[in-house]
Structure 1
Amino acid sequence: MTTLLEMKNVQAAYGHAQALFGMGFDVKAGEVVTLLGRNGMGRSTTIKCLFGMLPVKSGVITFGGKSLTSMSSHGIARLGLGLVPEGRQVFPTLSVEENLIATARAPRHGQASLQLWDLERVYRFFPRLKERRGNHGWQLSGGEQQMLAIGRALMTNPQLLVLDEATEGLAPLIRAEIWAVLAKLKQEGLAQIVIDKNVGALLKLADRHFVMEKGRVVWQGDSAQLRNEPAIVQQYMGVS
């Protein structure tokens, strides 16, 4: 299986406060991986480095064999990375449809294996967005905003979808709907990085897991291995 994304020995800091200490992980084409750990352990910082929102002091990040470490956030997104950010961050004064159109981008050359994302396809995945396509972002519920954030990222026609706190604060029925959508995206071959606290759902969805503590990976393995090592989840995430 082809390696799509690779991060090696990345160091990063907020001013004088070091946040990543030799962070490294990889994602293969069509694979779903997770970044697990308690809050403040470097998961979101890793995503910021990946998208060029925080400079990398040292180390290497490559996507499709191309280095990302000196690229702008805009340039990185154009390569085929789609971000569903923590807190959703939809445009509150734009309608649902305007939010989706605002980020739309044609697939890159060579992405023919992945089906085109357009308004019609996003609305098939999220019928509620079609029902509310004229509503402004601020008029949506938290679950609808998360659907919109995912739809907006898909409209960039990504090769890799990155979701930071995918289901945080959502009602159980909405969470189930989001997990079902991510599973369907996986079936269609879209690679994903997922940050979330719902280990049970992640065990069903993901191929591999990277557990982080203090800015580095302290454990990695597949879902079967993690399921058989509950002490890892307890130690590094504080849940059973």
Structure 2
Amino acid sequence: MLRVENLAAGYGQSQVLQDISLAIGAGEVVTLLGRNGMGKTTTVRAIMGLLPGLGGRVLGGRMEFAGTALAGLPPHRIGQLGLGLVPEGRQVFPTLSVEENLTATAASRHGAPRWTLPAIWQLFPRLEERRRNMGSQLSGGEQQMLAIGRALMTNPRLLLLDEATEGLAPLIRAEIWAVLARLKSEGEAILLIDKNLAAAMRLADRHVVVEKGRTVWSGTSAELAATPALRETYLHL
């Protein structure tokens, strides 16, 4: 579904990504792991076509989704192909209600949409309770639920989450992980960035480890568990 090969990218005169490669098949959950500042968020921004608006650009390599090259496409076109983003920092619309945040991005790609307001309310009952509240009135955990729901309302073929549970209370983190497990069980393809390695290893099919803008390792959870030296070297765990 998604294939990234030898991706290089940066901002201004600074090259952040040197050689990133990863692939995600239909229904797979893949994590992008690495310490802070190693290029994970820049990789996601490059895939979603967001770099030009941030003073950055793709310098080389190839990104392809379902047979369509992504380089040079604007973000809205990439979204129309079926990629849905939950960005770092959530970035909900503060002056729109919860319901307006969700309907603002709603799209039906192929026939009847899988993700509708009733489906989001069932996934996140707390959002239905606060459907009339503004985005700015929500807690951090509620905003993250809203950011996930908003991305799902685009009915994506691949969901990308940048720092899925960063800064959330333990109970909220557990709820988010449970939701991600449900999405996986229902066949949702996911690219996930998160610092909770134990939870990521329980959820994901495969992992990609990056260091200084390069892919340095990829493999299954079993393979990652069997290589403590790799975790200590690149993840400090």
Aligned to 2:49: 52
Runs ≥4 residues deviating over 4 A: none
Structure 1 residue 22, shift from structure 2 partner: 1.7
1:104 is aligned, of 103, 106, 113, to 106
Aligned to 1:68: 70
Cα pair 1:107 1:116 within 8 Å, conserved: no
Identity over aligned pairs, percent = 61
What is the identity, as a one-letter code, of the residue corresponding to 1:91? F
Note if 1:40 corresponds to 2:37.
Answer: yes
- Of the structure 1 ranges 229-238 and 130-139, higher mean CA displacement relative to structure 2 is found in 229-238
SS in 2 for 1:56: strand
Q: For 2:78 and 2:8, how far apart are their aligned partners in 1?
A: 19
Aligned to 1:26: 23
What is the identity, as a one-letter code, of the residue corresponding to 2:22? F
Q: For 1:88 and 1:62, how far apart are their aligned partners in 2?
A: 25
Cα pair 1:79 1:108 within 8 Å, conserved: no
1:94 is aligned, of 93, 96, 102, to 96
How many residue pairs get matched?
232
2:203 is aligned, of 205, 215, 233, to 205
Cα pair 1:52 1:71 within 8 Å, conserved: yes
SS in 2 for 1:166: coil
1:140 is aligned, of 138, 141, 153, to 138
Structure 1 residue 108, shift from structure 2 partner: 3.6
Q: For 2:7 and 2:198, how far apart are their aligned partners in 1?
A: 29
Instruction: Give the TM-score normalised by structure 1.
Output: 0.95
Aligned to 2:54: none
| CA deviation vs aligned residue, 1:84-121 (integer Å, no higher than 9, x gap) | 00000000111000000000011246xx8xx6100000
Aligned to 1:125: 123
Instruction: Give the TM-score normalised by structure 2.
Output: 0.96
Cα pair 1:10 1:58 within 8 Å, conserved: yes
SS in 1 for 2:223: helix
The unaligned stretches of length 5 or more in structure 1 are none
Cα RMSD of the aligned pairs, angstroms, is: 1.0
Note if 1:232 corresponds to 2:230.
Answer: yes
